[in-house]
């Protein structure tokens, strides 16, 4: 240890400078080794995947001033703090930009979805209107069919106007057989709905016979072997017998 002329101790400044340099270097190594405790995370959106640095308060714990003093050490800490602040601002700007981009994309997608939904609603409404129109047409056709069926049923139940019955045929003279046969055949034709079967037709003709005429017809109606099957067979017998009777009567008269 050196002393000056007055006996004061002379301090070696080189030692102080060495201690200050050692302190600064140690703190810089500390900052580098901690790497400011960053965490990394990925955004979920694959189009905007990026590595973000999440900062915590403990990242700044290394800036607590130690007992040692020195302008160089303080300057290093200040620059490190500014670097962290700058990185935090950049990360914040990046996240904000990603948020705005995602928000805008979501709004555009929502607008597209809303437009698609609106178009589908229009298609559904048009389809419902078409179905309603078709249902109305079907109902109208069913009503018309029901009316037509009712009309046909009513018409089928309405019998034709009944023509007056011809006089009873007895001997073919009064009334004359030719006149009588024309009237009864027209009666059967005009009122066919009253006599739709051969049995009804033969029954009606038999009811308009009497005297000799009925005596020639009734045996063939009771017979099981030579029984009349149609009204035409009855007219054939009457034609032969009563025409012959009328001819004989005319000659005698």
Tens-place pLDDT, residues 142-201: 888 888 777 666 655 678 889 999 999 988 788 888 899 999 999 999 999 999 999 999
Percent of the chain surpassing pLDDT 90: 28
Tell me, what DSSP letter sits at residue 159?
Answer: P
202 versus 69: the higher-pLDDT residue is 202
Backbone angles phi, psi at 172, to 5 degrees: 80, 5
**Using omega within 30 degrees of 0 as the cis cutoff, is the peptide bond preceding 54 cis?**
no
Of 50-59, 192-201, 224-233, which range is least confident?
Answer: 50-59
pTM over 0.85: no
Tell me, what DSSP letter sits at residue 100?
Answer: H
Task: Write down the pLDDT at residue 148.
Answer: 78
Task: Write down the pLDDT at residue 250.
Answer: 58
The three-point CA angle 49-50-54 to 5° equals: 130
Task: Write down the pLDDT at residue 228.
Answer: 92
Task: Write down the pLDDT at residue 226.
Answer: 83
Task: Write down the pLDDT at residue 19.
Answer: 47
Tell me, what DSSP letter sits at residue 44?
Answer: S
Task: Write down the pLDDT at residue 2.
Answer: 45
Percent of the chain surpassing pLDDT 70: 64
Q: Is 202 helix (H, G, I), strand (E, B) or coil?
A: helix
Task: Write down the pLDDT at residue 186.
Answer: 94
Give the chain's mean pLDDT: 75
Task: Write down the pLDDT at residue 46.
Answer: 52
CB 23 within 8 A of CB 73: yes
Task: Write down the pLDDT at residue 32.
Answer: 43
Task: Write down the pLDDT at residue 158.
Answer: 75
Task: Write down the pLDDT at residue 77.
Answer: 80
């Amino acid at each position: 240890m050196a002393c000056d002329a007055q006996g004061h101790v002379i301090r070696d400044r080189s030692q102080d400078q060495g201690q200050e340099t050692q302190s600064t270097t140690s703190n810089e190594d500390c900052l580098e080794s901690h790497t400011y405790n960053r965490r990394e995370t990925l955004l979920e959106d694959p189009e905007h995947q990026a590595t973000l640095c999440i900062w915590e308060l403990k990242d700044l714990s290394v800036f607590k001033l130690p007992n040692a003093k020195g302008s160089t050490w303080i300057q290093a800490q200040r620059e490190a703090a500014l670097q962290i602040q700058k990185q935090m601002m950049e990360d914040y700007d990046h996240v904000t930009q990603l948020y705005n981009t995602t928000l805008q994309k979501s709004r555009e997608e929502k607008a597209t979805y809303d437009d698609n939904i609106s178009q589908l609603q229009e298609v559904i409404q048009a389809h419902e209107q078409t179905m309603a129109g078709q249902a109305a047409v079907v109902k109208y056709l069913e009503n018309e069919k029901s009316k037509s069926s009712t009309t046909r049923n009513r018409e089928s139940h309405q019998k034709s106007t009944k023509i007056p019955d011809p006089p009873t045929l007895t001997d073919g003279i009064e009334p004359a057989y030719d006149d009588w046969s024309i009237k009864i055949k027209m009666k059967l034709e005009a009122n066919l709905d009253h006599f739709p079967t051969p049995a009804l037709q033969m029954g009606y003709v038999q009811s308009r016979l009497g005297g000799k005429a009925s005596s020639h017809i009734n045996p063939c109606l009771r017979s099981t072997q030579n029984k009349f099957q149609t009204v035409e067979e009855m007219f054939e017998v009457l034609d032969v017998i009563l025409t012959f009777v009328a001819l004989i009567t005319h000659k005698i008269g």
